[in-house]
Structure 1
Amino acid sequence: MRGRRAQALRDVHDHHAASLWRFAMSLTGDAAEADDVVQEALLRAWKTPKILAEPPEEIRGWLFTVTRNLVIDRTRSAPRRREATVDELPDRPVADRVDDVLDSMMIHEALATLSESHRTVIIGAYYQAQTVADLAARLGIAEGTVKSRLHYGMHALRLALKERGVSR
């Protein structure tokens, strides 16, 4: 039985392989893929004994339908749809900075409401990364005064931000 099926498959191959390959090539545009599709179509014929029992001339339509369906299935497959080759990598996405800009504007407005002495120590400590000792030396005041101004200045800044709707 197996010998007859093998001979039947050889007959089908001899009769249809070249025209199936040309058909698959016209659909795929790729010789290697056309080879794979024809091989799979012939394998399906091998797995369908009633097809191999037919004379090779009468299964042409079935083979072409299977070939077309295989090409469609390969085109719709997940790896095929997701793979895309490009010459250059796409630009990296840039984060939207609108929130940062709005926060910065709100803090700037709130700082403007503070007294000059409070604003100076807060900007020096938090934006210029100066130590209490550095600020005291630069401003010519005691370190305790700098600490006091930072404490009351931050309290006033929190209140100014709270008035603008900032809750944290």
Structure 2
Amino acid sequence: MLDRLSSAYRARLLRYVNRLTLGDPHRAEDIVQETMLRVWRLAVRQSARTGAAEHEIAYDEDRLVAWLYTVARNLAVDAHRRDRTVPMGVVPAPMLQRCTEPDMADAVVERHVVHGALARLTPEHREVLVQVHLCDRSRADAARAIGVPQGTVKSRTHYALLAMRREMRRENAAA
């Protein structure tokens, strides 16, 4: 029964579903396969219920063909609705979370670049940057720790940051 039904109606059903899917041959093929699978499952259920072999099941061919087209149409509508409900271009939340995690390789490279740039600064500039930015001290606290006036800390910080940016640009250009 199923072999004859498949060979007799599969091509027509595929043309019908192809129109429903606006010419998407892959989607149409998937829908036709799902439709044929449902016919096969129906035959298996009926044979289990009646105790007859699949090829012995009596059926009304016209009603079965109408049922085939109805199932195919419903599957096509479901696929279209499914496509409309998922916004296109939206990135799933788990992928965003993975993207925001710091990359260990980037951290190692950044640390290497900063360490190299700091090593090329003068000792005074390096000391003021360490006190102000790495130790997170205020200008007054850094001045007391270094033993210089606050104005000196302010100007050294300014020029040290300029030198640091210049060294990091040089380091990035070399890489």
Max Rg structure? 1
